[in-house]
Amino acid sequence: MKNGNSDTTNTTGPDLRDLTALLKGLADENRLRLLLYLAAGEKTVSSLVAASGLSQPLVSHHLKELRRALLVEVERRGPFVFCRLADPRITALLEQWQQLTTELVARRHHL
């Protein structure tokens, strides 16, 4: 809904730029894994590095992309940087996507 216009039946179709940016944030296995770690609650960047096995610069890069996609919030507290999901509904959406993926893959194998 841009500029208060909720009409999605115009000749060019709905403006999907925001949704596209959000979904691009999900289009990486490492970013999905980081989101799953954060689904359990707020974590420091160093704990994400330890849990993921990724380098600190790579985790920071992925967190930057997740922030850009509005999926993660980051807050500095003293020497530590804490990360959390931007909205608790993200956890449910990730679970639904995982379930859907499992079902679609299983269906494909039965064809």
Which CATH number goes with the domain that contains 96? 1.10.10.10
For residue 2, being part of any structural domain is answered with: no
Number of domains making up the chain = 1
For residue 97, being part of any structural domain is answered with: yes
Contacts of 39 (CB under 8 A, 6+ apart): 85, 90, 91, 94
pTM over 0.85: no
Tokens of 18: 């925001």
For residue 79, being part of any structural domain is answered with: yes
What's the domain range around 55? Answer: 17-109
Tens-level pLDDT at each residue, the chain (111 residues): 445 444 444 456 778 998 898 999 899 999 999 999 999 999 999 999 999 999 999 999 999 999 999 999 999 999 999 999 999 999 999 999 999 999 999 999 887
For residue 1, being part of any structural domain is answered with: no
Residue 79 CB coordination number (10 Å)? 6
For residue 50, being part of any structural domain is answered with: yes
What is the tally of helices (H) and strands (E) in the chain? 5, 3
